[in-house]
Chains A and B, each alone.
Chain A
């Protein structure tokens, strides 16, 4: 797949449903074939590593952060010959579910993980 136009409606969507709709994703089914690689606790809410991998023949990924003002953080386009794998770093204002979306054979699927953003301090 070639890079698509910057999807204004999706990136400016204010809720998960708005973003799903703008992506044409319907309500994606949760799938064990989608793996989200991310920490349980963010070391720094401004730099949270998030990765997606799948064994599906995927051509498009997306990362959504439920509690961010605009949930859609990024979309990725995976041409054939490129592995269904990506890692990037995102900003999170507060503890939130993070969604990894994968589009394969025209169908969107997803995995969800809660990433905690804490004030920090203290220790043993």
Chain B
């Protein structure tokens, strides 16, 4: 199984290059920290939500999906701000966090992993004289992202099997097959990469 958050589309945002989107994300992150006027913050949040849902064509449902996991933390932080600072600070901090996540999600959903990797390679190339291999780092990150859902799937499969055997509370019954399958998958993936000509990637730089 392969992780992939990119959602294909032909919106203006999709067509922007990855370096432009990532730069804008960094600039916006810094700018948001400086905003301390509540109406400006509300305007920025609404604009970001509009760009995400309408301009990028990702829709309000996905905007909600990107926001939902945050809510409990935002609520917690807002309560703390309200209690220790002011109500205005609570609103500012909450909107800042939510907007930042929307911007990050917007970049993730509209940029291919390979484009992100190319940016990473360009950034890491600065360290090439120090012996750093940017392609290898970028590929390592891409592989890590690709393997996350694989790990979850293996854990889910093994949990289902052990549950069927009445062993869901046994850590050994979970750990051993999960580890075995992970090692086997890693071995198969390694074979596949060698077969596709990647064994000497590092040496070719």
Asked if A and B bind, the verdict is: no
